[in-house]
Chains A and B, each alone.
Chain A
């Protein structure tokens, strides 16, 4: 059973460019969350997608946007890249069951470097 997968593994961009990161959830999961982990810090919640809609968002600007596809995979898009966007971007998948207590499982992350 494949876990959460993310692509690409590493990415180097320059300021002002746009980037798209991809995530495939664990089999049986329908919810995808994205987190940004800056060097030396804990992950920060960007947003969460369920039923192809963004249902919760953290304190990130509109330059950060996303999408969820019918097969539950997801993309994270970042426009007008800034140096401060350099970080490890983590995708987590889970199942939105009736209890709401389901665990989020994380992918290996995409390391984004903005020059």
Chain B
């Protein structure tokens, strides 16, 4: 069964500095990978996804993610963090075999705190 791991419960970064939120995955076959962000008392907002193609995926709000097949990783990055980026970030993987089935398996989440 597919799974994702987010090894850091919390990441702290100063505003203006680059940020990285880590995610590793385990799937059979080619992975479909996603990043979502959740603000307090809100649903999940889609940031970006990797299906195939370039290993560097660009998404919303200046975020990007790097897919690394050999390390089975899909880390979220941003060159310059903003205080407003402070939120809970979730990595997710979808069943790549049954493409008609869209079940997402989520990690436990990483809280990002950006200090002024």
Contacts and interface: CB of A to CB of B under 8 A. Distances in A.
Interface footprint category on B: 20 to 34
Interface stretch (B10-18, B36-44, B68-76): B36-44
A113 interface: no
B99 interface: yes
Interface of B: 32, 34, 36, 41-46, 49, 51, 90, 92, 98-109
A19 B45 CA distance: 26
A101 B99 CA distance: 7
A92 B45 CA distance: 10
Shortest Cβ-Cβ A-B pairs, 10 listed: A100-B99, A42-B106, A106-B43, A106-B44, A108-B43, A56-B101, A45-B103, A101-B51, A109-B43, A43-B106
B33 to A, nearest CB: 11
B103 A103 contact: no
